[in-house]
Every structure is written in structure tokens, then in C-alpha cells.
Amino acid sequence: MTVDVLAFAGLRDVLGPGRRAIQLRDGATLADLWAELVRERPQLAALARSTRFACNGRMAQPGLALADGDEVAVMPPFGGG
């Protein structure tokens, strides 16, 4: 399956701007996607605990199963007030 990945803030500096298509096995989770990104860019490993995900515009946990065509945003933690 193919998912589209968008990176924000400091993660964009590592992954690059724009949308990237990533190939994953059927049934892959957000955690599997993260592992693939870390394989491509090992420096991401240090950011694992602080990285957050959104899938199709909704915040999501690493165990979420992905589907073909999903849009995944990877981003650092953020605050508001």
C-alpha cells in the first residue's frame, strides 16, 4: 500500500518539504511507518518519543493500522494557549 507523508517543523528539516509517497506492507501501522522513516533517516530515532502523528486530519496513536491512500502528518509536539 502507499501512504502520503507530510512533515512539519523540525521534522521537515530532516524529511524534506512537501508530500512523500511511502510504500508499506498491507496492515502496516503508524509505528511501522515511523520505523521505515527511521531506516531512511537514522537521525529521526532520537525524535521518536516526541513525534506525534495525524492520520487523515485526526491525531492518531502509533498502533493505528493504515490503509492505502492515507495521509499521515508527522510533527513535533506543540502547545497552545
- Residue 10: its pLDDT value, please? 83
**Percentage of residues in the chain having pLDDT higher than 70:** 94
Average pLDDT on 11-26 reads 90
- Residue 17: its pLDDT value, please? 83
Fold of 2-75: Ubiquitin-like (UB roll) (3.10.20)
Q: Sorting pLDDT into bands at 50, 70 and 90, what band is 78?
A: low
* Per-chain mean pLDDT for the chain: 92
Biggest distance spanned by C-alpha atoms of the chain: 39
> In terms of DSSP H, where are the helices of 1-81?
10-15, 30-40
- Residue 15: its pLDDT value, please? 87
pTM for the whole structure: 0.90
